Amino acid sequence: MEKETLTDREVLLLRRKLDLLLRTGKLLMESAADTNRIERNMKRVAAFMGIPEEKLHLDIRWTMIMVNVSDETHSFSKFQKCEKHGINMTTITEVSHLSWKAIEQDYSLDQYEEELERIARKPRNYMPYLVAIGAGFACGGFCKLFGCDWIAFLFASICAFVGFRVRARCIEFGINVYMSIAIAAFVATCLAYASSFSGLSSTPYHPLLACALFIVPGVPLINFVDDMIDNHLLVGITRAANTMMMVGAMTFGIAFAMRVLVMNDIEIDHKFSELSMVPHDPYYIYAIAAAIAAMGFSMIFNIQRRLLWVVALGGIIAVCTRNFVNFELGYGPVIGSFMGSFVVSLIAVKAVHWFDVPNHVLTIPSVIPMIPGVLMYRSLFAFINLHGVIGEVTNAFANGINSALIILCISLGVAVPNIFARRYIAKDRQRYLEEELEKRRQRGKFIEW
CB-based contact 23:217 (threshold 8 Å) = no
Distance of CA 437 to the CA centre of its chain: 33
Q: Which amino acid is at 24?
A: T
Average pLDDT, the chain: 85
Task: Examine the pLDDT at 327 and tell me if it is beyond 80.
Answer: yes
pLDDT, tens only, 438-448: 776 766 655 55
Q: What mean pLDDT is predicted for residues 180-203?
A: 90
Alpha-carbon distance of 59 to 419, in angstroms, equals 21
Where b means 16+ CB within 10 Å and e means fewer, 3-35 reads: eeeeeeeeeebbeebbebbbbbbbbbbbbbbbb
pLDDT tens-digit series, residues 114-166: 999 999 999 999 999 999 999 999 999 988 988 888 999 999 999 999 999 99
Q: How confident is the model at residue 300 (pLDDT cuts 50, 70, 90)?
A: very high
Q: Residue 183: exposed, middle, or buried by beta-carbon count in 10 A (0-12, 13-18, 19+)?
A: buried
User: Residue 157: CB partners within 8 Å, gap ≥ 6?
Assistant: 136, 137, 139, 140, 143
For CA atoms 128, 134, 138, 143, give the dihedral sign.
positive
Direct distance between the N- and C-terminal alpha carbons of the chain, in angstroms, rounded to an integer: 8
Model confidence band, residue 303 (pLDDT cutoffs 50, 70, 90): very high
Where is 57: in which H helix or E strand?
Answer: strand 56-60
The pair phi, psi for residue 67, each rounded to 5°, is -130, 135
Task: Write the DSSP symbol of residue 123.
Answer: P
For the stretch 408-429, pLDDT in tens is 888 888 888 877 776 666 666 7
In percent, how much of the chain has pLDDT > 70?
86
Which tens digit of pLDDT belongs to each residue from 55-106? 899 999 999 999 999 877 888 899 999 988 899 999 999 999 999 898 888 8
Residue range 330-353: mean pLDDT, rounded? 90
